[in-house]
Amino acid sequence: MKTMAANPKRVTRTVTGVLLEANWKDNTAEVYPDEGGPVKLAFPDELADEIHRAARHRVRVTGTVRRPRNGRQHLEVEALEVPSPLAGLLLPAGPPAPKRDPFEGAKPIEDVERFLADYPDERSAEEIIEDLRACRATRHPPDGDEIDGDE
């Protein structure tokens, strides 16, 4: 057990969040991810200028997770990236929405007269229903293929 504590397993992790606090004396900083508490960072001198430029910006930090004697986990920074603010606009916010059946939840018309209440009197109910059926047949062919331009 003591051997495990002395040689913790090296785990690489990437954290995305806002870099709000930095201490150049100790070469430490904190990233506040969208979910969860702040993540403490330890960075080498070579990254100090990048950390300074990235302060108060959204960053993506990759590094090795360490748990020092005080028990608080921190990340030894190996790479720092400041994504373009426009990148969020180009990428979808989540998984694509599933395709829905446009007729889902549609029920047969039981009282045609109620359906036709606002239609002009010169057309009969049968003519209108026939037009609706013809329109539906041309929009959704029986073989299930989509018509050009119809998604």
Classify 143 in phi/psi space as left (phi over 0), alpha (psi -120 to 50) or beta: alpha
Write the class of the CATH domain 2-88. mainly beta
pLDDT at residue 150, as a whole number: 47
Alpha-carbon dihedral 138, 144, 146, 151, rounded to 10 degrees: 110
Domain with CATH 2.40.50.140 in the chain: 2-88
Q: Are 75 and 64 in contact (CB under 8 A)?
A: yes
pLDDT at residue 22, as a whole number: 87
pLDDT at residue 129, as a whole number: 85
Q: What does the angle CA 78 – CA 81 – CA 82 come to, to the nearest 5 degrees? A: 150
Would you give per-residue pLDDT tens digits along the chain (151 residues)?
454 455 556 788 888 889 988 888 888 999 998 888 888 999 998 988 888 888 888 899 999 988 766 666 788 999 998 887 665 555 555 566 677 777 788 887 777 776 666 666 677 778 888 888 888 777 665 555 554 444 4
